[in-house]
A and B are shown apart, each in its own frame.
Chain A
Amino acid sequence: MTDNNDLVSEASSLQSLSHASNSLRAYLRNSWRRRHFALAMPVDRFRSRNQNTILGNVWNVLNPLLTAGVYYLIFGVVLNASRGVDNYIFWLVLGLFVFRLTQSTVMQGAVSITSKQGLVRSLRFPRVLLPVSSTIGELITFAFEIVVLLVFAFATGEGVSWRIVFLPVALSLHTAFNFGCALVVARCNDSFRDVEKLLPFVFQMLRYLSGVMVPLALLEDRGPKILHLILSWNPLVWIIDIYRWVFLGRAPGMGLAEVSVTVMVTCLLVVGGLKFFTSAEHRYGRP
């Protein structure tokens, strides 16, 4: 029976592959080691996404430019809307681009595991790299939108002030917030594919409730009280406000308290999101 005992002692050098046994710290270290993978995927996709068009990479700029153009045409020229906001068109396009980054990061995050089943079923790597990589992919798209925003800022006579140095700060906070949300929906969607069907409607509603099109102050005396309570605690509103402060110098209703709460909510989302996401790590990719 000595044989048997030897086997048992040998077995201690064996490890289980289930991530449940690893600490979050070890998991993150392992992910960091493979960071180039998370970067290579969106870069590849970015390089190839306009391959089948004649204009090719010009579309990266043309796409946000045309979006801004459409809004300028409809709201600026046709409707001549101002909603009581100076430089309403720029205000609107800025809010729209910022909102779109959240929307696309969360929606791509939701399918980041489910759309990469081939990868998940054949290779073992920290699955968190998938939402990381989809988040990076959306940031690449947003980089071009920022270029268009800067063009817009000068074209509308707004210019760019010293506050632009806070753009990286705003973008970091925004990205962390989006990534936290992406982690949560990625796991939810892996369990219930209904989530990705539902998300477009959630964002359609949020678009109206986050002060993207209309300043929230204009909605103040309309609708039920509870709605305003939700609106006044919507971190997305504050994130958009930070950008508006950076570009336009105006952000009524945004103070230190709002920024602090946004930072806290974001930290909570990222840490909680990581825990939530990794606790189902071993389940991702099952048939």
Chain B
Amino acid sequence: MEDLKLPLPTKLAVSVRDVDIDFEVFADRRAGLKARLVDRNAAGKSVVRAIRGVSIDVHEGESVGVIGLNGSGKSTLLSAIAGVLPTTKGEILVSDEPRLMSVGSILIGEASGIRNIRLGCLALGMPKAELEERLDELVDFTELGDAIHRPLNTYSSGMRARVQFVTATAVTPRILLIDEALGVGDRNFRAKSRARIEEIIDEAGTLIMVNHSLDELSSFCSRGILLDGGRVAMDGPISDVIKAYKGK
């Protein structure tokens, strides 16, 4: 009955229920053609069990930091919550459409930054009239200047993060998922994005973030989840979880 000591929970925002996520990956050396034709599943492929039996409930207004070693399943979990990666087993329920921003992602590399913002906002369902009205404001927020007209392929990771952040937060998301994307920004941008994220959390938004900077995590999040080998190894106050992570 530990739960009773916590403040009374508000509504659930994200509910991950006994989720498994397996990947089929091609091994370095594939099996021969004959084997592949006979058994499509076995030949040359190996199954990576990225997430195993994970159950997490996150309430509205909560900010959760996900910690773990490289390859422990953090990004996979975020993608699955965002609904862009299917689960193999179990289900994920959300109260609203989550927005994902992740460090590696590029929408359309050949298109300019401004076109990516436009496409991203339209894909996420922002009405065209609203987009036209707010585009200047969104572009200003990135502070990219003329570079906003250059192809995204030519951007540094920090510049890409600016474009992504603007796209993901253009319509105030009720659930924001951030996968490492803030770490690549400069001081100036971090301060700006931090202010925006705090605004979102204040509006009863929910934040789940993956970040290798433990200082940043503990300043943003009140709750921590430690992933180890695709399983939840610990779930509790962020300071305790960080302590456990450091002790590993």
Contact = CB atoms under 8 A, between A and B. Distances in A.
Interface of A: 3, 7, 10-11, 13-18, 30, 33-34, 36-37, 40-41, 44, 48, 116, 118-125, 129, 282-283, 285-287
Given A33-B125, A122-B105, 11 more contacts: A7-B12, A11-B15, A14-B93, A37-B119, A37-B122, A41-B119, A118-B108, A121-B84, A122-B164, A124-B83, A286-B86
A118 B107 contact: yes
Contact of A121 (B12, B79, B164): B79
Nearest to A12: B93
Interface string B108-144: 1111000100111011110010000000000000000
B11 interface: yes
Secondary structure dominating the interface of A: helix
Contacts of A14: 12, 15, 93-95
B118 A40 contact: yes
B25 A287 contact: yes
Contacts of A33: 125
A17 B79 CA distance: 12
Interface residues of B, number: 41
A286 B4 CA distance: 39
B180 interface: no
B235 interface: no
B107 A122 contact: yes
Contact of B11 (A3, A13, A48, A122): A13
A33 B131 CA distance: 14
Contact of A122 (B25, B94, B100, B125): B100
Given A34-B123, A36-B122, A48 B111 contact: yes
30 contacts: A3-B9, A7-B57, A10-B12, A11-B15, A11-B93, A13-B95, A14-B12, A14-B93, A15-B93, A15-B95, A16-B92, A16-B93, A17-B83, A18-B83, A34-B125, A36-B122, A37-B122, A40-B122, A41-B108, A41-B119, A48-B111, A118-B106, A118-B107, A122-B84, A122-B107, A123-B100, A124-B84, A125-B124, A125-B125, A283-B86
B111 A282 contact: no
A182 to B, nearest CB: 19
Nearest to A3: B3
A40 B114 CA distance: 12
Contacts of B111: 44, 48
B169 interface: no
B57 A123 contact: no
B198 interface: no
A44 B119 contact: yes
B175 to A, nearest CB: 11
Contact of B92 (A17, A124, A285): A17
A167 B79 CA distance: 46
Contacts of A41: 108, 119
A286 B85 contact: yes
B107 A123 contact: yes
Contacts of B106: 118
A18 B105 contact: no
Contacts of B91: 16, 18
B202 interface: no
Name the 6 nearest CB pairs between A and B, nearest first.
A17-B83, A14-B93, A37-B122, A122-B105, A125-B123, A36-B128
B120 A123 contact: yes
Given A17-B92, A40-B122, A48 B85 contact: no
Contact of A124 (B4, B97, B128): B97
B93 A285 contact: no
